[in-house]
Amino acid sequence: MKQDDESVDFGFQKVSAAEKTRRVGGVFRSVAQRYDVMNDLMSLGSHRIMKRIAIEMSGVRAGHTVLDLAGGTGDLAALYAPLVGASGKVVLADINGAMIDVGRDRLLDRGMTNVVFCQADAEALPFADASFSCVTIGFGLRNVTHKERALAEMFRVLRPNGRLLVLEFSKPENPIVAAAYGAFQALWPTIGRAVTGDANAYRYLVESIEVHPTQKALRLMIVDAGFVNVEYANLLTGIVAIHHADKAVGS
């Protein structure tokens, strides 16, 4: 079977790999200008706290080079930039040009000149081996067509002793929280239509969370990619999880 003919998940639908890439691109082009507003509404502002927790887990310091994959509108890059300082660098990479445009405008307006921007596919990163001290992907892995290829690329471009952080929607482990969260998610397409004019983008978001691997399954995928010290921390009983892992010396 040709790669483009392979059947993959796009929410609850099965589509070709090429069609998923096209549709995901369309989703984020549609909502780019109002993306941050919707994030605040859907998370009641908690996504900002979650991102700060991920930053604290990163161990990033002055002089480091950080890759912020699926960096979009630049929330994580904006937190990393002052940590790496003038002697370091943050590369904000995203497959979607519209999202990068929003992120570039925001960060340059804030004078963050140690952030550079790159339109790139997480499954085929245009960076040399062992280029980065830390690789982060925040709320983006579930949109990647072949997650195992993306994880292998993250491993390749990470330096030995470097750290991987995957911040992603996950599965609540408390059934009461899970039920309440499901009821809240049901509102997202309606809110999305009101705020961005696109209900389907947020219908896809709900479905993409549902079909994303569980915390334990994603941990095994990260182990299979070659990482060590692979653990995860549940936030809000697992509505979101932060997976963190290292690349061993000699890898």
pLDDT of residue 92: 97
| Whether 211 contacts 18, CB under 8 Å | no
DSSP reduced 3-state for 96: coil
* Each residue's pLDDT expressed in tens, for the chain with a length of 251 residues: 444 557 887 777 787 888 877 877 776 677 667 666 777 777 777 888 999 999 999 999 999 999 999 998 899 999 999 999 999 999 999 999 988 998 999 999 999 999 999 999 999 999 999 999 999 999 999 999 999 999 999 999 999 999 999 999 999 999 999 999 999 999 988 988 888 888 888 888 889 889 999 999 999 999 999 999 999 999 999 999 999 999 999 88
42 is written with which tokens?
């859907």
pLDDT of residue 84: 98
Count of residues making up the chain: 251
Question: Torsions phi, psi of 82, nearest 5?
Answer: -70, -25
| CA–CA separation, 19 and 159 (whole Å) | 33
| Whether 212 contacts 142, CB under 8 Å | yes
pLDDT by residue (tens digit) across 159-218?
999 999 999 999 999 999 999 999 999 998 898 888 888 888 888 888 988 999 999 999
24 half-sphere exposure, CB direction, 13 A CA radius: 26
| CA–CA separation, 182 and 197 (whole Å) | 22
| CA–CA separation, 175 and 170 (whole Å) | 14
End-to-end CA, the chain: 32
**Topology adopted by domain 3-169+213-246:** Rossmann fold (3.40.50)
DSSP reduced 3-state for 11: coil
Q: What is the pTM of this model?
A: 0.88
Q: Where are the domains of the chain?
A: 3-169+213-246
- Name the DSSP letter for residue 250: T
